[in-house]
Structure formats: C-alpha cells, structure tokens
Chains A and B, each alone.
Chain A
Amino acid sequence: MKIEAQHKGDVLVVKLHESRLDSYVATEFRDEMDRYAKQGESQIVLDLSLVEFVDSSGLGAIVTTQKRLGTDRDLVICGANEPVTRLFKLARLDKIFQIVVDEGEALAVLAS
C-alpha cells in the first residue's frame, strides 16, 4: 500500500495512492491511520482522489479512524469520486465526517 502524508500547517494531509481501498489494503491502511491518530494529529484530511473503489472493509477502516480520533479531533474526506461519495451517503456517514470536493476546500473547512 502506498500512502503519502504531509503537514500543511497543523493539518495532516493523507493521500492514498491506491486505486482500491478494499480488504487487501484496509488493514494496513487502518494501522497507518491509527499511527497518525496516536502521534497526536488533531486534524486529518484524507484525500481519496486516486481511489476508484471502496468496499465495506475500506469503509470500516475509515470509520475506525474517525472513532480513534474521537469527537474533539477532525477527519475531513476530500476527492472522493461519485460512487465512493454515494457509498458514504448510503451508510449515512456523511453525517459523521465532512466530505468535501478537494484539498483546498478541506483545509478551508478546518481553518474556519
């Protein structure tokens, strides 16, 4: 699994360089996100612009990250394509974390 994380101010922007976030990479992805949560990141932007497909394991990994961060820390998702956005909406997760168009919007949301 290839993942790229860089700080932009106080925000950690995590970009997944995989076309599928499915059961093959979900565990590794979750562990990596877990590491960011443990190292005390308080604002994480997850950029899914290179991801074409997310399955239930992938969704579970993202939700687990949100749970690890708790209510006082933020996870914003950006760059999700239409089917992936639809999946979040079907699971009504769009009410749990913010889903925005791109990194710029994500950083703006977190800054406000």
Chain B
Amino acid sequence: MHAPADNAPRSVAADFTGDTRTASRPRILVADDSAMNRKLLVAILAKEEVEIVEAVDGVDALSKARLQRPDLVLLDIVMPGKDGYEVCAELKADPKFANIPVIILSALTQPADKVRALELGAVDYVTKPFDRGEVLARVRNQLQIRKLTASLVQANRDLVAKQKDLDADLRAAGDIQLSLIPRTRPDVPGFDMAWRFVPCSSVGGDIFNVVRLDERRLGLYMVDVSGHGVPAAMVTVSVAQSLTPQAGIVLEPRHNASAGDAPVVRSPGRVLEMLDTEFPMERFDKYFTMVYLVLDVVSGELRYCNAAHPRPVVVRKDGRFELLEAGGTIVGLGGIMPFEEGGVVLEPGDRVYLFTDGITEFADTDGEEYGEERLRELLASGGAPHVQAACDGVVDALADFGQGARPNDDVTITGFEFRGPEGG
C-alpha cells in the first residue's frame, strides 16, 4: 500500500460523534507510555495509508478510543494509571467499542500474559522489540478483517432493508387477498353460508366469493392460484374481477338491455372455458384450479364445473355424501381439454363444502397429510348444528391433527346449507 499520488479530495464521513476521518483511511490508535516506542510504531506505519492517533497512557487511550473511534488499537500493557489489560477490558465491556480490534504490544513474553490479553478480547499480540515486518503484517491483517466485517455488516443492513420491503409487499398482497373474500354473509333467504379462511404467512392464492346472478340464482366460486406471494395475489385480483357480474363472464350481457332483457346466466362449464381463454398460463406464468357452481336457491338445483380443484363435498341431510368431480383440468391450458359440467339437486338441509388443497394436503410434523377422506368423514359426521360450526370444526381438527405443524398454504373452507324456499 502507498499513499495516492494525486491530491483528489477524499470523501469525508462525519456523524454525530464528530467523526471526520477520511472515509478510505483507517484510523489507528497507538497507545504506549514510551514516546520512543510510539515514534517507532509511527515510523513503521508511515507508508501505510492510515491515520495515526497517539495516546500517552491508559486513561488517554480510553478517552481517545471513545472520542475518535479508531479502527484498530495498538495497546501497550505496562502503562501508568490504567494498564493495557484494564483499557482492553473496559473497551470490550462497552458494546459501542467492543468491536474495535485491539493488538497488544508488550515486552512481556510469558504465555500467561498473552493468554490473559487474548481472554480480555485482544485479537492479536506482538512482543517487543518490534519486528517491522511482523507489526505490519498483523496490522494489515486486522484492518483487512475490519474492512471485510464492515462490508458484511453493510450487506446485512441492505438485506434487512430489502427484506423489510418484501415483507411490506407481502402484507399488502395479503390485504389484497383478504379484500377478495366476502366480508359479510350474503343475506339470501333459504341459503346459509359460512367460511373459515386462514391465510398462510407467505400469502397463498386462495379466494372464494358468492355473486348474485339473478333473483333465484347465486354463483359461487373458489379459486386456488398456483404459487405464493405477490404474483399469486395479483392474479387472484384479476380472476376475481373477471367473475364480477358486470365483467361479462358469469352473466352474458344482453344486446337489448334497455328493452328490459335480463342478462343470461352462463353455465359453469362455459364460464370455465372463458376463464381458460382469458388466463392462458403463458400470460402470468400462473394457472389455477377452481370450482364454480350455480345454485338455484328456490329449486335447490346446482350446476357446477370443477377445474382440477379438490372435489367439493355434498353432505346430504341424512349423512350420505357425494363428490362434485365433473369438470376438466387446471385453468390456463387454453382449451386443451373440454370442461364438463355436472349437476345435483339439493334438498332442504343438504350442505355443500368447498375447500382448497391447503386443507387436504396439510401435513403434520411427520409429513402425513390430513387427506380428503378424513375431511369427508368429519363433514359427514353430522355433529355440526350449522355450516359455520362445521367450518370451525375443520380448522380445529386440522390444528389437532397437525400437533403444532404450521400450514404452508392458505387453509380455506366455505360451506352452505340449502334450506329451501320454506326454510329461509
């Protein structure tokens, strides 16, 4: 190392401590009560690109270390007032200065002295009389370590800052997702709906909602977008938007709306076909599974289409169950396979549950999955007086099953009971 040839202005780092060292020049505090020793060390370090501060005894060393925050202290042991051990111990005891490396300089050559100094937190030890090469090598070593540490600390700070931004984004994505699920239960006679939604920390892509299609029919959907985090949340927004009645998918707009023609309710299969075209996988590098069903709250007639989503369970009033499996593959493949449609007729007291794989694939600490079968049995067991209790029961059962395992996907279940025109 040598001093730069030009006199270019250096950047000066100043902080509230009044620190005005030139940014690129490490500061070394040389503490020795012998003026000759200090002179010798200054001479050894003369060609290094460093700034040197001298201290004449222990007390002076401490006060200069605190005021000037050197990057390295060369510390003599035997000094009047406070000796080097005390200075070292006091520096190391203060978190503000504990990370300043201390190299002990002493004529003491007993191993026990070296051990004591190292135990007090000194990083290295040089014995007198000084060997120029040795002093330089050890000083350079420590300054290099100090520099690397500083860059690590900075890198870590940058990472923490970035992580904070990411966390904030993730929280925003979580809020977006929450805004896409119903806030209050729909007030529809003959129809009792409930749900539980437990979003996972990394924000999954689950959403569900119910839309009123006409005076008798409701459209219900549950969507699980592949992946997690902000990208998945953004796709859920777009999908939810497409499923609003005014977006022209679940309802087919009439040309002659002004003449009083009511929009036509699109069949579930057709709705999924349209979404499949609307959301090609290439567009966002995402696809989704989905169930869409149309329920006539007067007749109990239910039409549905299931795009590779976990099969919804119909639990009849008497405890028998049926699975809604007619449908097709994941949405986003651009018409690679047709979407078939299925239908069932609900009787008053029948319930239907929709859920995502965050429930069936929820694994306990041994990796065993909760599974479709367990869920089906629980839902069909008939213990719950209403669908809210049933949904709560599922979330409780998962917690019991998991024995402390945390879900790594959204846990979403919604259910409704068809009460019929008389049962509203």
Contacts and interface: CB of A to CB of B under 8 A. Distances in A.
Contacts of B334: 67
Interface stretch (A40-48, A91-99, A102-110): A91-99
Contacts of A91: 289, 308, 329-330
Interface string B329-353: 1100110110000000000000000
B226 interface: yes
Contacts of B329: 91-93, 95-96
A59 B226 CA distance: 10
B287 interface: yes
B6 interface: no
A43 to B, nearest CB: 18
A56 B310 CA distance: 14
A49 interface: no
Given A91-B289, A93-B329, A60 B308 contact: no
Nearest to B336: A96
A85 interface: no
Contacts of B336: 66-67, 96
A90 B309 CA distance: 8
Nearest to A68: B282
B282 A63 contact: no
Interface size class of B (residues with CB under 8 A): 10 to 19
Contacts of A56: 226-227, 287
Contacts of A95: 329, 337
A23 B205 CA distance: 15
Contact of A92 (B281, B285, B337): B337
DSSP class of B's interface residues: helix, strand, loop or mixed?
A: loop
Given A90-B308, A91-B289, A91-B330, A64 B337 contact: no
Given A56-B226, A95-B337, A63 B308 contact: no
B249 to A, nearest CB: 22
Contacts of A66: 336
A60 B226 contact: yes
Interface size class of A (residues with CB under 8 A): 10 to 19
Interface string B23-50: 0000000000000000000000000000
Nearest to A71: B336
Which of the listed residues A60, A90, A95 has the most CB atoms from chain B within 10 Å of its own CB?
A90
Contacts of B327: 92
B130 to A, nearest CB: 54
A97 to B, nearest CB: 10
A64 B327 CA distance: 21
B420 to A, nearest CB: 34
Nearest to B309: A90
A57 B226 contact: yes
A96 B226 contact: no
Contact of B282 (A59, A64, A90): A64
A67 B308 contact: no
A33 B337 CA distance: 22
Contact of A67 (B285, B310, B333, B337): B333
Interface string B87-98: 000000000000
Given A91-B329, A92-B329, A96-B329, A60 B337 contact: no
Interface string A50-63: 00000011011001
A67 to B, nearest CB: 7
Interface string B255-290: 000000000000000000000000001100111010
Given A57-B227, A67-B281, A90-B310, 18 more contacts: A56-B227, A60-B226, A60-B281, A60-B285, A60-B286, A63-B330, A63-B333, A66-B336, A67-B282, A67-B333, A67-B334, A91-B289, A91-B329, A92-B329, A92-B330, A93-B329, A95-B329, A96-B337
14 contacts: A23-B227, A56-B227, A56-B287, A60-B226, A60-B281, A60-B285, A63-B330, A67-B333, A67-B334, A90-B310, A91-B289, A91-B330, A92-B327, A96-B329
Interface of A: 23, 56-57, 59-60, 63-64, 66-67, 90-93, 95-96
